[in-house]
Structures are given as structure tokens and as C-alpha cells.
Structure 1
Amino acid sequence: MRKKRDILAVDDLRTPELVAIIERAQEMARLWEERRMPQSLAGKRVGLVVNDTGWRNTTAFDLGIQAMGGICVHPPLRWDTREALNDLATYLDNWFDGIVTRTPDLSILRAFADLSRGPVINARTRQNHPCETIGDLAFYFHRHRKVDGIKVGVVSPESNILQSWIEASAALPIAVVQVYPEKWHVKTTTSAYRRFSTSTDMNALVDADILVTDCWPDDATPSELERYQITAAMLDRRRPDSEFIPCPPVSRGKEVSADAMTHPACRVVEAKAFLLHAQNAALEWAFEEI
């Protein structure tokens, strides 16, 4: 029996699989603009299970599933142990060919995926956010026609965005550095991810090809993090071909300054537009269409 294709973490994908998704996203972008999307999901019934306020990647999943001929339904269930996971998997398997979901915890999602017959795609957990990172990689490839050998600087405390970039460093030959005060450095050991490192020095970002930010932690004071704010002056010191992709929602005056958001290096709108195309490619891969 062929192993089903789940996307739960970036480094669950083998390198050729991840590259295939990134490359297919380029074609998906062209087909989207031409309004002739392939009907890759025709006849597929997909459950989109979301119980939080995030909207970008889940809206893109809903739109993409329908644009590729699938049926997308939003079951109003919660991953709160009200029903046993094996029961939920069995009931959902009755009606759906696959599930896209946000869950509080990655371990819950992995347990559910083990029990489910169809593919399961992680639309976000507290621990990681694989589709967001795959989307940014697909956008970078669109702009530069490569991802091998790039460096990604992540100015963020330990977070789901950072973790998925760390996962990407295991799946692809890219370097990832977290730049932040030491008290918020990720607990992941660098020995487990040999292309990942941490630093407190903002100069470690000067040669980064992609610069990513995430929100300030709730337990921080402005004085602790002011020097880690991304400003237009800081972006001016970087190479003109580098990309600044702050993670929305963006808090201007905190992790980024207002002038950084209008800087020519800021590509967040374009990158998040590309999220749709990457997720459509991921859906095709999960349903064994690529």
C-alpha cells in the first residue's frame, strides 16, 4: 500500500519533494494570472478545520481547493479532546478525501494524521507553520530562480515561524540564523540542525538573502528589544537584491518601523500573494498529482 502524503513539517518532506512543490508553485502563479487553473482536485472533498482568527493561509486554501475543482467544507470541530482522535479520524474519513487544519499542538496533528486515511496538511500549529515558509521560499525562487545556498535571518523569539525556517534548513541546503536576545533563543540544539545558528548580533543579518520578523514576545519590555527593530536605515545597509518579508500581522513601532514597511526591500505583500500558489502546489502534491 502506497504511503499517503501528509505535510506536517517542512523537514518531513524529502528535498526532491520540497523542490517539486516550490517549482510547481511557479507554474501555479502563471496559471492563476491566466485564470485557467488545472482541475487537479476535481472530485476531491477536503475538510478545512479552523478555529482561530488567522485568515491568510486558510482563506488561500479554501480558494485554491475550489479553483482546482475540489469541494471545501468547514467542519466546526475542535481539537480539544471532546471527542477521541480515532473517532474524529473515522468520522471525517467517511466524508472527506483529505484534511487541512490548524491545531494547537503539533503532536495532536501527528496523532490525527496517523489515524486518518487521507492526506493531512498543517495550516499552522503553535510549534510550526510549514506552508508559510514554503510560500516564502517559492516567492524567493520566483524572484531569483534559486534557493540553494541562501541565508535566512529570522529576528524573532522562539515561534512557529522560526521553527519552520529551522525545519527548512534541514530539508534544503540553506543557512538559517535567529538573531535575538539570548533569553528568547530557540531551545532546538544546533547539533540537531547543523545549518541553524543563533546570535545576538544584528550584524549577522547583513548578508542574509531573506530577512524575516515575528511579533515581540508578550513578556518583553521595549528597552530589551528596541535594537532588534528592523528600520529603513538598517535595510539600506543590506544588499539591494535581498528580500524583507515580515510576518503578518505586523506591529509597526515594535518589530518593524513604519518606514521599513515602505522600503523597496519589503516584499511582504508579494510574498503572501505567492502563499496561494505554493499551497496549491502542496495540495497537488498531497493528492499525488505531482
Structure 2
Amino acid sequence: MSEKIRDLLAISDLCASDAMAIIQRAQDMAAFWRERRMVQSLAGRRIVLVVNDSGWRNTTAFDLGIQAMGGICIHAPLRWDTREDLPDLAAYLDNWFDGIVTRAPDLAVMRSLAHSARAPVINARTRQNHPCETLGDLAFQLHRHGRIEGIKVGVVAPKSNILGSWIEAAAVLPINVVQVHPDKWLDRDAAASTPRFRASADMYELADADLVVTDCWAADAEPEALLDYQVTSTVLDRLHPEADFVPCPPVSRGKEVSADAMTHRACRVIEAKAFLLHAQNAVLEWAFDVS
């Protein structure tokens, strides 16, 4: 099958020009999708989707996007934590497939898979990061406002895969990212080592943000400890008029997001998540170096 072109494991593995090329190509993909004239960039490509959890948005979008661009997508019911060694599993997949789209428990597992496989490997989520989710939100930001340079992104979340990929993005793109959460859950290490990323316990950091995103509350947190960090309509009223609120699904109303925040004029999660498909289609093209 195909020799490796490029893996997408973390946004911070990319150079700024490649990250921007994916975000910009997502604009074309959105237009192709609306006009029902998808490019057949993956014609003849056979791609395996390896997912063993209940998440459905980005994996469904991968399946749909691969097929819409002329490829073949097969779901393989395998796990990376079986008695079979990962290099053996990678070799078996290489017999049949040109590309691997997968979720894995840890980024280290994803990197080991990419090291062993000839086929490009695309990260559909780990516990440490979720690169396509962030690329999709950035593609929406570019679509809606025409730029991402210099924007401020407020991430109301504990250490998590969503925060992880926003930190990755801040490391390579000209954006400023601030994590907002109680001290216990702030990623101080990343703030000390990553350009354009910092951490704060002050919810008023969101007032001048251009984009506000959330993730689920930490499993080890008592709800009372985090209630002051719930994004409500009152919080959103403090944003500037052109700011967007894009909570990361699944949204837990009454926890990280209030019910009234989901109907606020700033909430654009439905429109934003449409760009998950378009960004992932751009990633697929990039991985195979076709367009």
C-alpha cells in the first residue's frame, strides 16, 4: 500500500505554514460541501477508522468525508491495548490500507503507531489532545471573521485534551490562548514553556476574548468548586459584540455551561462544528499531499 506521506498527531508537530494551509483549505472544503461538488482527492484510497468509544462527531465526519472525497472507509474493531504488539498491528493494517484514522488512549501510543506504520496516521483524539477539533474551530474563526492572527482564545477547562490542542495551536500559530479555571486545574507547566499561552483563575480574562471554548468539568471536582467558572449568559454579555462562544460537545448544561448560554447570541457551536468536517477533509488531503 502507500508509503507514508505525513502524520497528523499534534498541532504542535506542524509548522505554522502547514497549520494555516489546512485551516485555509477548510474554507474551500466548506464551499465544495455547500455546492455538492466535493473534490475526489481520495479516489482509490483505502482508509481504516479505528475507534472504540462512544464519541461520534469527528469519527462520523471522517467516515463521511473520506467517502465524499472518493475514498473507501472501513471500521476495524481492534484495540491498541490487546495482546498483539502494536508494530504487528500496524504491519497488518499496512497490508490493506493507505491511511489510518484512529483514537488512542495516549499520545505516546499514537506516536508509536505512526513510527511503526507506513501509512499516514491521523489522530482523531487522545487523552492529551484533540487536534482536529481545534483545527475545526480555527477554520470556523477564519470563515466568520477572515483572520485568526492575533485573536485571543479563552479556554474554560481543566487540563484536558481540548486544552491540550489549544496549547499546541498557541505554540505554532499567531494566536493567544488563556486557560481560565481554579488554580488546582491550571496547566502552569505549559504556561511556563509555551509561547502565547498562559493560565489564569480570573473569569474576567474572557471579557476581551475573541473566542471562548469550554470542556467538561474535571471528574475529580466537586460542582460547588467550579460553579463560579460556569459560562452563563451573564458571562457572555461581557464579551465584545463580535466574540464567539463555542462550547465543546458533549455539553453538560447546568455544569460547565448554563442552559441560557446555549441560546445566547454569541453561541455559535452548531455553525462552528460544521467546520469539523471541512477541517478534517483538509487534513486528509494534507496527509496524502493531494489537492
TM-score normalised by structure 2 residue count: 0.97
What is the identity, as a one-letter code, of the residue corresponding to 2:228? Answer: R
What is the identity, as a one-letter code, of the residue corresponding to 1:273? Answer: A
In the other structure, the counterpart of 2:203 is: 202
**Equivalences for 1:214-253 in 2 at 5 Å?**
214-253=215-254
Q: C-alpha distance in 2, partners of 1:188/1:88?
A: 35
What is the identity, as a one-letter code, of the residue corresponding to 1:20? Answer: A
Q: C-alpha distance in 2, partners of 1:188/1:16?
A: 26
**Equivalences for 1:27-46 in 2 at 5 Å?**
27-46=28-47
Q: How many residues align?
A: 289
Q: Once the 2 structures are TM-superposed, how far is the Cα of residue 28 of structure 1 from its aligned partner?
A: 0.5
Q: C-alpha distance in 2, partners of 1:128/1:206?
A: 26
Contact 2:4 2:120 in 1 (8 A): no
Instruction: Give structure 1 stretches of 5+ with no counterpart.
Output: none
**What is the CA RMSD across the aligned residues, in angstroms?**
1.1
Q: Once the 2 structures are TM-superposed, how far is the Cα of residue 221 of structure 1 from its aligned partner?
A: 1.4
In the other structure, the counterpart of 2:103 is: 102
Secondary structure in structure 2 of the residue aligned to 1:80: coil
Q: Once the 2 structures are TM-superposed, how far is the Cα of residue 125 of structure 1 from its aligned partner?
A: 0.3
Q: After superposition, what is the alpha-carbon deviation per residue over 1:40-87, rounded to whole angstroms, capped at 9, x for unaligned?
A: 000000000000000000000000000000000011110104210110
Q: After superposition, what is the alpha-carbon deviation per residue over 1:81-131, rounded to whole angstroms, capped at 9, x for unaligned?
A: 421011011100000001000000110110010111111000000110000
Moved more, 38-47 or 233-242: 233-242
Q: C-alpha distance in 2, partners of 1:64/1:127?
A: 25
Q: C-alpha distance in 1, partners of 2:106/2:231?
A: 30
In the other structure, the counterpart of 2:276 is: 275
What is the identity, as a one-letter code, of the residue corresponding to 1:281? Answer: A
Secondary structure in structure 2 of the residue aligned to 1:189: helix
Q: Once the 2 structures are TM-superposed, how far is the Cα of residue 222 of structure 1 from its aligned partner?
A: 2.0
Q: C-alpha distance in 2, partners of 1:8/1:288?
A: 16
In the other structure, the counterpart of 2:164 is: 163
Q: C-alpha distance in 2, partners of 1:124/1:174?
A: 22
In the other structure, the counterpart of 1:121 is: 122
Secondary structure in structure 2 of the residue aligned to 1:188: helix
Instruction: Tell whether 2:168 aligns with 1:186.
Output: no
In the other structure, the counterpart of 1:132 is: 133
Q: C-alpha distance in 2, partners of 1:264/1:62?
A: 32
Secondary structure in structure 1 of the residue aligned to 2:167: helix
User: Percent of aligned positions with the same letter in both sequences?
Assistant: 68
Q: After superposition, what is the alpha-carbon deviation per residue over 1:228-266, rounded to whole angstroms, capped at 9, x for unaligned?
A: 011111111111100100011101111111000000100
Q: Once the 2 structures are TM-superposed, how far is the Cα of residue 192 of structure 1 from its aligned partner?
A: 1.8
**Equivalences for 1:46-57 in 2 at 5 Å?**
46-57=47-58
Q: After superposition, what is the alpha-carbon deviation per residue over 1:160-207, rounded to whole angstroms, capped at 9, x for unaligned?
A: 000000000011011111110011112533232021101001111111
Secondary structure in structure 2 of the residue aligned to 1:152: strand
What is the identity, as a one-letter code, of the residue corresponding to 2:51? Answer: V
Secondary structure in structure 1 of the residue aligned to 2:190: coil
In the other structure, the counterpart of 1:260 is: 261
In the other structure, the counterpart of 2:14 is: 13
Q: Once the 2 structures are TM-superposed, how far is the Cα of residue 3 of structure 1 from its aligned partner?
A: 6.6
Secondary structure in structure 2 of the residue aligned to 1:123: strand
Q: C-alpha distance in 1, partners of 2:145/2:239?
A: 16
What is the identity, as a one-letter code, of the residue corresponding to 1:289? Answer: V
Q: C-alpha distance in 2, partners of 1:149/1:260?
A: 25
Contact 2:50 2:76 in 1 (8 A): yes
Q: C-alpha distance in 2, partners of 1:94/1:145?
A: 43
TM-score normalised by structure 1 residue count: 0.98
Q: C-alpha distance in 2, partners of 1:277/1:185?
A: 31
Q: C-alpha distance in 1, partners of 2:195/2:189?
A: 11
